[in-house]
Structure 1
Amino acid sequence: MGKVEFVYFDAGGGHRAAATALRLVTEQQLQWNVHLMNLQELLDSLDPMLRLSGLRLQDLYNWLLKMGWTSGAGTGLRVLQAAIRLYHPQQVKLLEEYWRKSQPALVVSIVPHFNRALFESLHRVSPVTPFVTVITDFADYPPHFWIERQEQFVICGSPRAVAQARSTGLRDDQIFETSGMILHPKFYQAITVDRAAERRRLGLEPELPTGLVMFGGQGSSVMVKIARKLEASKLNLQLILICGHNERLAAMLRGIRGKVRKYVEGFTTEVPYYMYLADFFIGKPGPGSISEALAMKLPVIVERNARTLPQERYNADWVLEKQVGLVMRDFGRITPSVEDLLDPSSFARYRANAAAVNNRAVFEIPGILNEILNKTHVVGRII
């Protein structure tokens, strides 16, 4: 039989990470032949930004994240969706050509926005091939973000997303709920290094409260504000700052001198290790970052305001619902928030709630995909 296609793109970085982690576990559990399909590369010829400036639309998006310029994200999102609708017929045509060559046994989308085009093109080429959308946010941001009204399967990481899927008319046998977001298996592996010794090796104090500051794979200029505010405070703490691919940001943070000890890292695949050395997390309310922190038992401090990406706003509400940390309106007031979090009784409660979150989604989804394949009567083994 044919291969399985996992569809991703690099807008934000979390979609590639989720697809890569899910492929790894799926191949281990089911011995399937999984191919990662980069949707942006396939649709490059339709990208108006690429034609006009030589810069991909996803690269512009990542640059805006890096600069922290997200205040008009709601309006920008609707403009983007209008452009996607405008180019929909051409998208479907390109995707049809791809599916005819690929002949997949199953297509799994780990991206928003394009699921109508992905489904329609696949259905024209092979109506019996199942199409699955895996939502990598705690909730959808309708309309036309994650869930489309079409004959598909949807995998959700929260009761809120399940309710949203039902509201589109999907049947219960088309909706599957997991225990959370997709994380790399590294986050479930025991770390056996000496925590105090590793802190010393990074130039940190072995017993001082340690915050890990991270804003996705592109970093964010707001990390400088956070570092400076905490530097000016009377709090006795230290920071690990992970800047992703933002080398300019890393240089700026290394240039901040003062009493607060800091370890600044650029892009790294060892986030579980750095989280193991930390006591709490500060960052944007991205579903991946929040879930990674909770997997490492770290309470979180996140921001929710007009600059928060629309699709990430519910994630902050989820943090409050689960009582796993604090939600701020502005990182300009990070000092009192850290003070509140580190109050011994509050910290113990948040830490216990974080540890109680048992997210095993990456290990649950392969079995769900296998069930979907069996439901749709696709006979044979995927090799």
Structure 2
Amino acid sequence: MSNSRRNIIIIGAGIAGTSLAKELQQKTNLYSITAFLDDDPKKIGSKILGIPVLGPVSEAIKNFTHSPKVELIIAIPSADNATLKQIYQTGKEHGFNKIHLLPSISTIIEGDAHFAQIREINPQDILGRKPAPLNISETLAWFENKRILVTGAGGSIGSELCRQLLEAGAERLYLFGHGENSIYQIDRELRDLQKGGVGSKTKIVPIIGELRDRAYMMDIMKKLKVSIVFHTAAYKHVPLMEQNPVLAIENNVHGTKNLIDAAINAGIQRFVFISTDKAVDPICIYGASKLIGEHIVLASAQASQIETIIVRFGNVLGSRGSILPLFQRQIQYGGPVTVTHPDATRYFMTIPEACSLVLKTTHKGKSGESYIFDMGYPVRILDLAENIIKFYGYEPYKDI
């Protein structure tokens, strides 16, 4: 049995890494922790939980035999993109094929890191601008014991909201969507997280439903008795919506109208509408449909007691339909990676960062207001393309 154990090296001997190590030590038949790696001179040379702390990271990592069973876990929730990129590249240079990450959201509540939250590092973690520092402990506590509905729960934004709301300890989390596969996947993922100790008291309820069915929405919203609705569901692929304008209006406009009316009828306290910066002077069907949705939500707030908040998103790195998945597919097929202009720039925000800001806005925002996130500094698309090619182990302009 010992030969089948996964050998783990944890990078980061702080609260998150220690919490993770405690959990892994309880599963000795599956995992063996070889060492902590850390840059803190006060920790280097000591032992934590009987595990040696070696460092600095860039030097200590050279001392290990690299086999398929040796894995790195980066457990530094405060690490910025540059730090993660450096650690990732160092690990790759020294032959580590499996490099995992404990996302920062998992350690917002101090000491509450779980192995179930570990995932493989991906391009979002090391590309783009430095994320803004967020402290949302108070916000997560505010969502505790609340009944919450997320529409579009199987999408990139909706699913991340669900992960963070599970972390917050919502009483009930309703996963609403009309695609059974995506709802099944996020339902299974959240239940796996619960098995690992995350949000174990939350009742998860998947719902396959249709926003365009007004009678159904009126009935289901009355039965669920939720206090907060996050409306992320939308048809958002711009070229597709240009070719299918009727469906775009039916879903993004009529669906929103049905949902907000049903929410008001059910006495729901707060309604959060996820919109887009394309709703500003829209030049496409998608943008126009979201702008109309915004007007519907604001008008409903003025005519009832419901609290409404509108959040406009810019480019979210890694979301469905964004440039990152396109680049990944192009690399997968051997290139070329297409960039429209070498000087083109875009503002980007990662999915976890954007969703944390949505939660904070829901907690702190004023009813009837629209919010646009500060996207920081623009990122050159050519730099993004070159970095993602390097992430997958290729050399730009030579291999791809």
TM-score clears 0.5: no
- Where is the strand percentage greater, Structure 1 or Structure 2? 2
- Where is the helix percentage greater, Structure 1 or Structure 2? 1
* Structure with greater contact order relative to length (CA < 8 Å, sep ≥ 6): 1
Larger gyration radius, structure 1 or structure 2:
2
